Amino acid sequence: MEHATTIFWKSFVKHPRQTGAIAPSSRYLARAMLAQTDLSHTTFVIELGPGTGAFTEVILAALPPGASFLAIERNPELATFLRRRLPQVQVICDNAAHLRRYTAAHPTPPTAIFCGLPLSWLSSDERRAILDAVADVLPPGSTFTMFQYVHAAWTPPGRQVHRELACRFRRIGRSTTWWNLPPAYVVHCVR
């Protein structure tokens, strides 16, 4: 099996706007993504844009036995890689905007959604569709955690991401991780 960095780099070269970065997220960013979410009693969690699984492994380690884990990855090569690497995760190859299709059949709603998608790189229509789907499937009190790159924070699309989050969620935390390529900040929201 190819190394995660190799498959990620190939994905970036083929689909730079979908991949959004030149390297997989660091373990520091993965820890920051989970720092404000207690998954010890979770029955169902979702990850959007798992890529090669940098966050997926950390989420898996935090889940209790028997919890369901759904990952939605749009890139077929990355979805195939992740299925082989972490077979205990249900990996769907689709657009995250179609999230409702995959949660409707689950007996309980998700208690947390983690997002590794480059939201500020997506078109405003696609970004809205994804955030609407996330807000639609999360019950009150559940969490949505995402990251964006520091350099994108003050761009018009980066500011738009924050306005759209504010319309759907209550933001309860933000932290910056400098040990990532590129540096990133995590936004933790509650529905």
| Domain spans in the chain, listed from the N-terminal domain onward | 4-190
Whole-model pTM: value is 0.87
**Residue 6 confidence (pLDDT):** 57
What's the pLDDT band for 5 if we cut at 50, 70, 90?
Answer: low
What's the pLDDT band for 18 if we cut at 50, 70, 90?
Answer: very low
Please provide the average confidence, as pLDDT, over all residues in the chain. 88
> d(Cα 60, Cα 48) in Å, to the nearest integer?
14
**What is residue 56's DSSP assignment?**
H
**Residue 27 confidence (pLDDT):** 87
Is domain 4-190 in CATH 3.10.129.10, yes or no? Answer: no
The kind and range of the H/E element at 82 are: helix 76-85
Reading the block at residue 7, the tokens are 């498959």
End-to-end alpha carbon distance in the chain: 39
**Residue 175 confidence (pLDDT):** 87
> d(Cα 179, Cα 73) in Å, to the nearest integer?
24
Q: Is the pLDDT of residue 102 over 90?
A: yes
